[in-house]
């Protein structure tokens, strides 16, 4: 019996691929600035950005917040700790948990990079009318919520498949 040919995917129209390409283009453009100036990687910048907004998260919480791979976050945290850009402390509410904070050096770096990132975002969105921006925001919110629901369903199905084997 002949194996069925796979259904071809038109990557130019395939939403997950298009979103990935867009993300890589946007992140790469902004990353050029902070990589040259500070030697930061994209995961390191994301950790600093998240901790600047939400201080006191654990590395696992940073990974959950950013949807980044836990290993990538762990490596970024290790490099940032060594460079003195973040610091680790014991949680005041749970002595078994360590939490992360941006150091003074990390804060100074963030204050320099954030305006550049915001300017890039403004320039990127200048091509859209206000109504298109609002529609984009609403669409991204809906797609994010739907993707999270589908991911949850997929995880539950995978677990139930695993328990049957």
Tell me: pLDDT of 141 over 90.
yes
**Is residue 65 a contact partner of residue 57, using CB atoms and an 8 Å limit?**
yes
Per-residue pLDDT band at 139 (split at 50, 70, 90): very high
- Residue 63: burial class (beta carbons within 10 Å; 0-12, 13-18, 19+): buried
**Could you tell me which of 142, 141, 151, 44 has the C-alpha nearest to residue 100?**
44
Which pLDDT score is estimated for 6?
87
Which pLDDT does position 114 carry in this prediction?
94
User: What DSSP designation does 57 have?
Assistant: B
Please tell me whether residue 86 adopts helix, strand or coil conformation: strand
For residue range 35-59, list pLDDT tens digits in order.
Answer: 999 999 999 999 999 999 999 999 9
Regarding pTM above 0.75, the answer is: yes
Is the pLDDT at 165 greater than 60, yes or no?
A: no
Q: Which residues contact 147 (CB under 8 A, 6 or more apart)?
A: none
Whether the predicted pLDDT of 75 surpasses 90? yes
Q: What is the pLDDT of residue 164?
A: 62
102 strand-pairing partners = 86
163 band by pLDDT with thresholds 50, 70 and 90: low
Taking only the tens place, the pLDDT of each residue in 94-113 is 888 999 999 999 999 999 99
Domain definitions of the chain by residue range: 15-127, 130-165
CATH code: domain 15-127 is 1.10.10.10
């Amino acid at each position: 019996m002949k194996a069925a040919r796979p259904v071809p995917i038109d990557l130019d129209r395939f939403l997950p691929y298009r979103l990935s390409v867009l993300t890589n283009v946007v992140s790469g453009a902004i990353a050029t600035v902070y990589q040259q100036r500070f030697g930061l990687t994209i995961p390191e910048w994301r950790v600093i950005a998240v901790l600047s907004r939400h201080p006191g998260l654990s590395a696992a919480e940073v990974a959950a917040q950013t949807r980044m791979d836990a290993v990538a976050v762990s490596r970024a945290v290790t490099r940032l700790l060594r460079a003195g850009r973040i610091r680790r402390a014991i949680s005041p509410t749970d002595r078994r948990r360590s939490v992360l904070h941006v150091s003074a050096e990390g804060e100074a770096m963030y204050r320099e990079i954030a305006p550049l990132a915001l300017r890039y975002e403004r320039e990127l969105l200048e091509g859209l009318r206000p109504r298109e921006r609002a529609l984009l925001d609403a669409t991204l919110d809906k797609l994010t919520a739907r993707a999270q629901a589908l991911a949850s369903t997929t995880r539950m199905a995978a677990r139930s498949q695993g328990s049957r084997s």
